[in-house]
Structure 1
Amino acid sequence: MVEEYAGEIGDRVAVKFRSEDGTRTERTYADLRDDMYRFANGLEDLGVGEGDRVMHLFPRHPDAFAIQLGALAVGALLVPCSAMLRAKDIQFRANDCEASTVVVHESLTDMVEPVLEETPLERVIVLEGDEDDPDGDGWTTFESVVDGQPTEYDGPDLEAEDPMSINYTSGTTGKPKPVLHKHRWMYCFNAVNAPYWWGVDEDTDLEDELLWATTGTGWAKWFWSPVGVGLTTGATQLIYDGEFDPETFLEILETEGVTKLCAVPTQYRMFANADLEDYDVQLNDALSAGEPLNREPIERIEEAWGVTPRDGYGQTETVALVTNYPGIDVKPGSMGKPTPGVGATILDVDEEEEVEPGEIGEIAVPIDSPAIFDGYYEKPHLDERKLSGEYYRTGDLASKDEDGYFFFEGRADDIIISSGYRIGPFEVEDALVSHDAVAEAAAVDSPHDERGSVVKAYVILAEGYEPGEDLEDELQEFMKEETAPYKYPRRIEFVDELPKTSSGKIRRIELREQEQEKHDA
């Protein structure tokens, strides 16, 4: 597709890159084609070919797409890694998928070098490395690999059913799992995520649009948006390499003229606390994914900019399964409706029967849906467990209302059962953070001798508030008004931070274990 765009709209800017120090650069679609083929030729000269696993570990970088597309062109499988990982995580991934090559940014080589001898990695390609200071056998630089290489490449004939990537799950429990996707994943993003999440279809005038997804290169969401929507539609997108700061990001929205933004709920929540009216933004769409988006930032952004953030739901294993897609009304707190053509539904936790409105069940997708992954890389026992029935069960719980809107209730492991009631943690958390005193919250079950369990809330307070019994009582009374009385947190603990995965999701399992230990002591 990139080659086709290079021929048709080669002078259109594909990537506008901006670094934290203000450096700017651009890559057209013709540039992307040339760069990816230079890298593909260089990889082939190094002995990298079809079926090889190529790990990559680099920040948002102007050469990110050239590296990824070049590796795909030779038929290799991409294995994305996040800069938030540790050396032991790199070691686990390299051994698990038997990767032979890693492309790593110069600033992150300390994550690779200590574990090389414990892995099958044979080649280390350093992005922005010093060519005069190689680190040893098998080490080279990206610049050396592409230097003098031709911009034409005659590689393997790849098809939709050829393997493309191994994206490791964030691992809220147990070891991360190697999720295998084939090249058709990109087609699904083009056919599903583009129109039903980003609002980009054949009627969109892409010359008037600038897309910005704030995700990093190591996450599946990078494939969801910058690769799967940005590149496959021929759009122009912004890539910013810098730490998140609300004022900086808002300034970028304004000065760069971003029209479609995809950010995570934490970023939207922090935006909502800023003086949004001070920024003259040109947004026509705001998208959210990663975890449910609370009502407060939706209402605040809608009030300030006239744009209603649209939540969407999916996983590393899928495309966007449920979205507030263009044309339907956004219900604050809802992830939307099942994306057309995907087949997402809510099944009883124990039976393969759809639940009634108002009941909590597990989000599931038929295993023959094109919207899901192609198994776990060389893990037949996991395939048997997850893909042997009629449905792929996501492990995420939801309920639906009479209009067919889905509402996230938590992970299947996170459900709270108190006196026979099934309580989803997100509803509790969503209501809590709507109180001015609460910046962030996590709800888990806490063992109770009479009720079996009660709702326990771990609360991070907003600036200017102090913990105490009076505030605890105030929050409990507030919650009784906001939710059904049996859902209010009978126990509240004020904390400075919450345990999270490397992708920013709350590890409620740690909090549950903590509660159990307290009960057993």
Structure 2
Amino acid sequence: MSTTYEEAVSSFEWDVPDDFALPNVLADHAAEFGNRLAVRFRHEDGWLAERTFGEIHEDAQRFANALADLGVDQGDRVMHLFPRHPDAFAIQAGVLARGALLVPCSAMLQSKDVSFRAEDCEATTVVVHESLTDMVEQALDETALETVVVLDANGDPEPENWHAYGSLVDDQSTDHDGPDLAADDPMSINYTSGTTGRPKPVLHKHRWLHCFERVNGPYWWGVDRDTDVEDELLWATTGTGWAKWFWSPVGVALVTGAPQFVYEGEFDAGTYLDLLESEGVTRLCAVPTQYRMFTQRDDLDDYDLALAEALSAGEPLNREPIAAFEDAFGLTPRDGYGQTETVALVTNYPGIDVKPGSMGKPAPGVGTTIIDTRDEEEVDVGETGEIAVPIDSPAIFDGYYESPDLDDRTFHGDYYRTGDLARRDEDGYFFFEGRADDIIISSGYRIGPFEVEDALVGHDAVAEAAAVASPHDERGNVVKAYVVLADGHDGSDDLVDDLQDYMKSETAPYKYPRRIEFVDELPTTSSGKIRRIELREREQSKFGE
């Protein structure tokens, strides 16, 4: 990009088109460059699929017509639960074309997590991959869910109100007469990861995607609709159930018209590097754990990559992988920071000097600042405070879905408080200092200690538990559990294995404690609250640098 950071900040103006909505954007793309590659998909089993922008638009219209036949109307909530898939974008755009709200779910959730989301937002329809149907069966008995669409179904499903996606869209028209969509219409309910209790239903309007185009695209990825994106190939390694899927595969690549690569398969550093090279990926967004594992390979210098940009998100990226990536490819990975509730609030803007360990500078147009944790005064340079955004910024969410109590706690005063702590240096760079609510960030996943602790104490052998972040070379941090055993139980390696297996069945797999230590008691304050800071300090002294 030719403009400087200072010029971008001073000249930025919001101009959200009134009719902005993903189905409308895809219709424009189809008319302007329908034959352009939109998605190149590879599966770990070897099969390949490609979709043009025109094909995605037409498939979305077909699915919208199918949903209309199923009785899905404007304002209905439609959940989806599928891995990375070549039809993911058409399914999402098809739901939106009906005026319904998307409710993304990660394939790493448990059945009870799906039931909670379905009940909380009163979803009536779910699109689920055939490999994950067991996760929705419980929800059908406990919630208002009544219609199931199965992706990659082997034939037509037998249960009543279950439908094969392929059969539904066959012979449907590529013209859908849906509602006129506007930027201020509701678009999605993206649930948080539950860092401060139960996951919260974050309501976004269609405007959110335009904000990604205006902020994440130029001020993180380095692309926008005005640049020549036809020869690019973007790869964001996120999954379809996470907010980052909207941050990059949808909000940047699909909206700007940039071709993208999608891979469905377990992460392996060698495999991913092979794909980067063979596919000619030009811009990559990965999590710090993946960068750390890339740079641990002895043959890193042997790869001939076409990368022009490398982005990192999820947690701070430490100095070693940055230096190793620079040595191997002459390219500096650039951090960015944001939340499910926001766009990229702080980025290492393309072209500015990257300070290792820094999230970068506030993204133009957003208004991100750091305020005192007790009032709304901005803190001085070098002081730690809470990252905050003005409540009138278009770049943040529109409240929690039908949860006025959560709104009252969030939107008071002049700022939306993120709950994340940071400091600003004399050059305006932000440095992440931690979570005000003791969040654990492991391999880019945000994990709240309370969910881990609540699950642990459900085991007969556990009386009390405290979960904290424990430094780890590859994952940044792992979950460490300090456990006080119930009477009649003794600590052992076998019990550690038993507790870990138990946790994998109770929570998403990435949340289980990879380290467990048995203690006689937990450190507490005078009021009986657990002093997690003391436990974190213990872990830092054991495993930190």
Interval containing the TM-score (normalised by the shorter chain):
0.7 to 0.9
Q: Secondary structure at the match of 1:362?
A: strand
Instruction: Report Cα offsets for 1:118-168 as digits up to 9, x if no partner.
Output: 110010000011234x24111111012101100111110010110000000
Q: Secondary structure at the match of 1:99?
A: coil
The Cα shift of 1:515 comes to 9.9
Q: Secondary structure at the match of 1:273?
A: coil
1:400 pairs, out of 415, 419, 424, with 424
Q: CA 1:210/1:357 → structure 2, altered by over 3 Å: closer, same or farther?
A: same
User: TM-score scaled by structure 1?
Assistant: 0.82
Q: Which amino acid aligns with 1:517?
A: L
Question: Which residues of structure 2 form unaligned runs of 5+?
Answer: 1-24, 450-467, 476-495, 531-545
Correspondence for 2:365: 341
Quote the Cα distance in structure 2 between the aligned partners of 1:193 and 1:513.
44
Correspondence for 1:353: 377
Quote the Cα distance in structure 1 between the aligned partners of 2:508 and 2:145.
23
2:271 pairs, out of 239, 244, 248, with 248
Question: Which residues of structure 1 form unaligned runs of 5+?
Answer: 416-424, 431-441, 444-455, 464-494
Residue 216 (str. 1) matches residue 239 (str. 2): yes
Moved segments of 4+, more than 6 Å: 505-508, 510-516
Quote the Cα distance in structure 2 between the aligned partners of 1:507 and 1:324.
32
The Cα shift of 1:373 comes to 0.1
Correspondence for 1:54: 78
Q: Which amino acid aligns with 1:458?
A: S
Q: Which amino acid aligns with 2:237?
A: T
Q: Secondary structure at the match of 2:377?
A: coil
The Cα shift of 1:461 comes to 6.6
Q: Which amino acid aligns with 1:295?
A: R
Q: Secondary structure at the match of 2:66?
A: helix
Q: CA 1:102/1:362 → structure 2, altered by over 3 Å: closer, same or farther?
A: same
Q: CA 1:171/1:138 → structure 2, altered by over 3 Å: closer, same or farther?
A: same
Q: Which amino acid aligns with 2:248?
A: S
RMSD of aligned alpha carbons: 2.9
Identical-pair percentage: 68
Q: CA 1:517/1:259 → structure 2, altered by over 3 Å: closer, same or farther?
A: same
- Whether contact under 8 Å (1:170, 1:502) holds in the other structure is no
Q: Secondary structure at the match of 2:198?
A: coil
1:32 pairs, out of 56, 66, 90, with 56
1:102 pairs, out of 126, 135, 146, with 126
Q: CA 1:202/1:167 → structure 2, altered by over 3 Å: closer, same or farther?
A: closer
Correspondence for 1:78: 102
Quote the Cα distance in structure 2 between the aligned partners of 1:503 and 1:346.
34
Residue 148 (str. 1) matches residue 153 (str. 2): no
Residue 283 (str. 1) matches residue 310 (str. 2): no
- Whether contact under 8 Å (2:118, 2:139) holds in the other structure is no
How many aligned residue pairs are there? 453
Residue range with higher mean Cα deviation, 48-57 or 499-508:
499-508
1:305 pairs, out of 326, 329, 332, with 329
Correspondence for 1:127: 151
The correspondence of residues 111-126 of structure 1 with structure 2, limited to 5 A, is 111-126=135-150
Instruction: Report Cα offsets for 1:417-439 as digits up to 9, x if no partner.
Output: xxxxxxxx99xx99xxxxxxxxx
Correspondence for 1:517: 522
2:435 pairs, out of 411, 427, 430, with 411
Q: CA 1:98/1:152 → structure 2, altered by over 3 Å: closer, same or farther?
A: same
Residue 458 (str. 1) matches residue 470 (str. 2): yes
Q: CA 1:310/1:513 → structure 2, altered by over 3 Å: closer, same or farther?
A: farther
The Cα shift of 1:229 comes to 0.4
Correspondence for 1:419: none
Q: CA 1:457/1:65 → structure 2, altered by over 3 Å: closer, same or farther?
A: closer
Quote the Cα distance in structure 1 between the aligned partners of 2:71 and 2:274.
45
Quote the Cα distance in structure 1 between the aligned partners of 2:180 and 2:473.
56
Correspondence for 1:437: none
User: TM-score scaled by structure 2?
Assistant: 0.79
The correspondence of residues 405-444 of structure 1 with structure 2, limited to 5 A, is 405-414=429-438
1:43 pairs, out of 67, 71, 79, with 67
Instruction: Report Cα offsets for 1:273-326 as digits up to 9, x if no partner.
Output: 012111111100001111111111111101110111000000000000000011
The correspondence of residues 179-258 of structure 1 with structure 2, limited to 5 A, is 179-202=202-225, 204-258=227-281
